[in-house]
Amino acid sequence: MDFSLNCKSSRLFGIHLTSLTCKCLVLIAIFLVFRTFCMPSISGYGGVRVEQNRIDLIQSESLALDSGYGIRRDKFLEVPQIVWGLNNQKIAFARACLTARLLNRTLLMPSLSASLFYKEVDLLQPISFDKVFQFERFNSLCKGFVQLGRFSDVSNRSRVFEIHKGSGRRWTIERDLDQLREAREEPSTNEYEVIRIVGKNPFLWHDHWPVKDYARALECLVLVDEFSKEADRVVSKIREVGRDIRSAQNGKDTDGSSLQQVPYVAVHMRVEIDWMIHCKKLEQRSKMSEICSSKEEIMERVGNIAGLETPLIVYLAVADTLLGNSSILSGWKEGLVPFEKKKLGVDGVYKKYPYLIQSAIDYEVCLRADVFVGNSFSTFSSLIVLERTQKMIRTGMANSCGTDVMWPSYAYNILGESNGPRRWMTNISDSSLRAISYGSNAISCSTS
């Protein structure tokens, strides 16, 4: 192919071209031909290339916001009521925050659900976000990253632009992201003070953000003082009982010792009938084992954790339906003394509150434990491990593979060392929250 041209004086499509112009056109033509024949197409990379492009774009958009533009406080995003269990609601809230961030808008404080009913809309018992978590504290901790606003901040509630989230197989993750970008970049949309997303619970929205972005939003959630103090009461009771048991065994009074020095293990024990039915079906559908665990297996594996100094209190975070089941308190290895809220005498603390608050208190009790053991397919367990992983990272620990680490976590559904549970840290570098919100047995004792 001959690209040589006599360019001293020529005309192309009626335009007079100089010698320099011709040379530039020749170089451009050569480049285009080279790219066509020599460079692989995007489709040749398949889904991996598309996914990486999506992640790179989201990260570059995040960097643009971090570089100083910040989140607009005069434009808002409104989302549907957040439903389901506490930790699904946390994920939904974080996803709504990150959606508002992508749109460069402040998220209007959403309504949570105090009850677990999610099919009967009239039984959802809405509860305001600031009745559970500290509003001002959230904005202080997440300043410059995501922002919460109140409906009283909106000057005109009558003029709202609605976005309907798609559904079904045709509504792909790419289409969802394109919809959000269009809403952000379309000048006519930006004239609206409020964008309202309708049609879906935010937990069911497509996920466009890496784990580290979710972790950053979630760590800004701080319980209101009332519920934080209730968690303090439960933790203090656990440590008091542990101190008494140690005093009785050692034959000396240790009442003067600091309660903070009395350790305890928290086990999120999923053995309810409905859970066992669910996890068995999940194992069959996914053709994956190591999801379900019987109470006997949990007891055995917790008992095989290396380095536990006995006697030691084991707090069992269990559903209320199991509180009258004495079998979960028997069969533990000698030196491990199991307690649940009823035996501990703190069930009255929980009964004062709706389901959401009960779960929030138990979450705090497990989070503060010296050792935590949960199920890697439980959102409750996964978010506790995420938060404990964040605490470890702040102290400079990138893995918990050693024997002397602070805040170790384990997954009892996966066999680990010495027939014990598998050590567990969250992969903070993961590009998707799927492993945390839907579970995984691909876990390790490092953050990557």
3-state per-residue secondary structure call for 136-175: HHHHHHCCCCCCEECHHHCCCCCCEEEEECCCCCCCCHHH
Under 8 Å between Cβ of 410 and 424? yes
Distance CA 427, CA 406 (A): 18
Cα 63 vs. chain centroid, distance in angstroms? 21
Determine the 3-state secondary structure of 86 from DSSP.
helix
d(CA 329, CA 208): 43
Distance CA 425, CA 443 (A): 7
What is the rounded distance in angstroms from the CA atom of residue 107 to the CA atom of residue 279?
Answer: 35
pLDDT at 40: 37
How many helices (H) does the chain have, and how many strands (E)?
A: 15, 15
Rounded CA-CA distance 353/229 in Å is 14
What residues does 421 pair with on adjacent strands? 415
Cα–Cα distance measured from residue 160 to residue 4, given in angstroms and rounded to the nearest whole number? 60
The tokens of 326 are what? 């004495």
CATH number of 46-218: 3.40.50
What's the pLDDT score for residue 31?
56
Q: pLDDT tens per residue, the chain (448 residues)?
A: 444 434 444 443 344 445 555 555 556 555 554 444 444 333 333 344 444 444 454 554 544 444 345 799 999 999 999 999 999 999 999 999 999 999 999 999 999 999 876 556 666 789 999 999 999 999 999 999 999 999 999 998 888 999 999 888 899 999 999 999 999 999 999 999 999 999 889 999 999 999 999 999 999 999 999 999 999 999 999 999 999 998 888 766 555 556 768 999 999 999 999 899 999 999 999 888 899 999 999 999 999 999 999 999 999 999 887 887 788 999 999 999 999 999 999 999 999 999 999 999 999 999 999 999 999 999 999 999 999 999 999 988 888 887 678 899 999 999 999 999 999 999 998 988 877 778 888 898 888 7
* Rounded distance between C-alpha atoms, residue 265 and residue 373, angstroms: 8
Closest to 221 (Cα-Cα) out of 370, 91, 371: 91
Residue 444's alpha-carbon distances to 24, 286, 303, 416, in angstroms, are 55, 20, 20, 10
3-state secondary structure 168-216: CCCCCHHHHHHHHHHHHHCHHHHCCCEEEEECCCHHHCCCCCCHHHHHH
Residues 6+ apart with CB under 8 A from 415: 290, 301, 421, 422
Can you name the residues that pair with 377 across neighbouring β-strands? none
pLDDT value of residue 25: 57
Please tell me the total number of residues recorded for the chain in this structure.
448
In this prediction, residue 22 carries a pLDDT of 54
Q: For residue 39, what pLDDT is reported?
A: 40
Are the beta carbons of 198 and 80 closer than 8 angstroms?
yes
Domain ranges of the chain: 10-39, 46-218, 225-438
* 400 CB burial (10 A radius; 0-12, 13-18, 19+): buried
The burial class, CB within 10 Å (0-12 / 13-18 / 19+), for 56 is exposed
Tell me how far apart the alpha carbons of residues 47 and 40 are, in angstroms, rounded to a whole number. Answer: 14
- E strand or H helix that includes residue 215: helix 211-218
Are β-strands 111-113 and 126-128 bridged in parallel, bridged antiparallel, or unpaired? antiparallel
* pLDDT in the model for residue 435: 73
Q: Quote the pTM value.
A: 0.82
Instruction: Note whether 195 and 183 are within 8 A (CB).
Output: yes
